[in-house]
Amino acid sequence: MGNFVNFTPSDSEYGISVDLRYDAVAFYIVNLKSKDILTAGNTRYGDDMISSLNNAIKACCDDYLIEEDEIKTYAVCGSEENLSLFTSTEKGASLFGIEERASNLGLYGNKSATVFVSPCSENGISGDMISVLSYFDFDNAPDNSLFIDFAEFTQCVFKKPDEIISMRIDSPIMETKGISSGTIAESGAIHQAEIKPDGTIKYSTRNNVVASGIFVTGLIDIITVNLKKGIISEDKKVEGGKIPLLDEKELLQSDIDLFFKNAEELSAMFTSICDGVIPNVYLSGCYGTQFNPENLINSGILPASFASAEISVIANASGLGMIKCLYDDNEKDKMISLSEKIK
């Protein structure tokens, strides 16, 4: 593929890999000569994604005495929705590995710096998922490999012997949308539940502070341990209509009903795409890497048949895939080719 700028990296030339997540941006500053990651950063963004990203990147660059003109290239991945916002294009527009100038997007750095935007597939499989698959060398993965990305929506890509197929579905339980005490992964979010040796249930919050609500990992744990204890019955009901948690937070019967409705939809998607095959399962995404696979099965999100599957977690593969794009055009071409194969 063509490039806007050809240059020989030196010690004073850097690239930035950017991962646009649900409500935050993660990035890595990379030395283009040594290919080493110099530092990592992240920031939440509001209405102005670019300004938030620029401020966070500039703060990191100031810490490491990196001049603006030394930023030579970007590689950016994310959902189609976030990439559309980032590039100011309409949702649904073709985002097959486009390249832009940093100056056209208003990004911090050398004004002639290139910005490679990860491709999305025609049916909406996101750029960060494509980056994961490329980094994992999906074309050479074993047949019947199922990659699942749990984020603000859930998407999966299944490699059959003769084709690559995909599905995606909105999954409100991944954000605890509709859950009465739902919250995001901030301090105070209930993010873990476990059965202690004495048989009691222990609930934990992020940073061990007063509970502010339930994060998705905690929700799945809560459902699982309460099923195991019989507090949630086989017909998915709870006596008294609620489960007391921490600091007057509780899980209502309506929350439990919503959870199992969404879990059933997700499980049906995974069952459908695999069509009776027990796959090798790989979990990724900002939520997927945090889940206990056994709890995903026991809570009904993954089909019961997956209990005999080999399940692996791939951490941070989207970011690492985009880092490689900073200095390897072949990686960009590989991502574009892969996005075009997914049906």
pLDDT recorded at residue 92? 67
Q: 276 is written with which tokens?
A: 């009776």
Q: 14 is written with which tokens?
A: 């850097």
Q: How far apart are CA 216 and CA 79, in angstroms?
A: 19
CB 141, CB 157: distance < 8 Å: no
Sequence ranges of the chain with CATH classification 3.30.420.480:
14-124+317-341
Instruction: Please write the tens of the pLDDT for every residue from 78-108.
Output: 988 889 989 988 876 678 889 999 999 999 9
50-59 average pLDDT score:
92
Q: How far apart are CA 29 and CA 8, in angstroms?
A: 17
pLDDT recorded at residue 5? 39
Percentage of the chain exceeding pLDDT 70: 96
pLDDT recorded at residue 238? 97
Residue 41: which H helix or E strand, with range? strand 37-44
25-38 average pLDDT score:
92
Percentage of the chain exceeding pLDDT 90: 72
Of residues 286, 307, 308, 331, the one with CA closest to residue 133: 331
Q: Residue 29: beta bridge partners?
A: 16, 39
- Predicted confidence band of residue 306 (pLDDT cuts 50, 70, 90): very high
Q: 277 is written with which tokens?
A: 């095959």
- Which sign does the torsion angle of CA 130, 287, 51, 41 carry? negative
Q: How many helices (H) and strands (E) does the chain have?
A: 9, 16
Topology of the domain covering 14-124+317-341:
Nucleotidyltransferase; domain 5 (3.30.420)
pTM, entire model: 0.89
- The 10 Å Cβ neighbour count of residue 90 is 7
- Predicted confidence band of residue 44 (pLDDT cuts 50, 70, 90): confident
3-state secondary structure of 51: helix
Evaluate whether the domain defined by 128-173+259-313 bears CATH number 3.30.420.
yes
Q: What is the mean pLDDT of the chain?
A: 91
User: What are the CA-CA distances from residue 202 to residues 39, 51, 140, 232, 259 (Å)?
Assistant: 36, 41, 43, 16, 21
Residue 325: which H helix or E strand, with range? helix 317-327
Amino acid at position 155, single letter: Q
CB 36, CB 46: distance < 8 Å: no
Q: Residue 266: beta bridge partners?
A: none
Look up tokens 């509780």; give the residue. 250
Look up tokens 């960060």; give the residue. 128
Of residues 200, 193, 197, 180, the one with CA closest to residue 299: 193
